[in-house]
């Protein structure tokens, strides 16, 4: 297992790049309709689609942890 540490900005840039790449691949495959080439485009980029899913899962997990941490913070009284 490997661990990669990213800043929030780096994570967002990486996620944006991966999401845009996946959408571009999907659009290209749709242009080819129900052909073997369209299926090949998707199949050959399966790792990228899986990586997108992983990034989305990480983001959801991070948001849940952040929400729990915020809920534990004492409320400021002014």
3-state secondary structure 17-48: HHHHHHHHHHHHHHHCCCCHHHHHHHHHCHHH
pLDDT score, position 25 = 94
Global pTM reads 0.79
pLDDT score, position 54 = 96
The alpha carbons of the chain give a radius of gyration, in whole angstroms, of 18
pLDDT tens digits, residue range 45-56? 999 999 999 999
pLDDT score, position 23 = 96
- Higher-confidence residue of 34 and 17: namely 17
Which residues, in sequence order, are CB contacts of 38 under 8 Å at separation 6+? 29, 30, 31, 32
User: b/e per residue, 9-35, with b = 16+ CB within 10 A?
Assistant: eebeeebeebeeebeebeeebeeeeee
Domain ranges of the chain: 10-67
Please tell me the least confidently modeled range out of 7-16, 23-32, 50-59: 23-32
């Amino acid at each position: 297992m490997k661990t990669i540490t990213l800043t929030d900005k780096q994570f967002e840039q990486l996620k944006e790049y991966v999401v845009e790449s996946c959408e571009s691949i999907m659009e290209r495959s749709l242009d080819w309709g129900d052909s073997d080439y369209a299926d090949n485009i998707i199949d050959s980029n399966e790792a990228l689609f899986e990586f997108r899913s992983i990034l989305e899962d990480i983001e959801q997990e991070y948001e849940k942890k952040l929400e729990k941490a915020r809920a534990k913070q004492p409320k400021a009284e002014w």
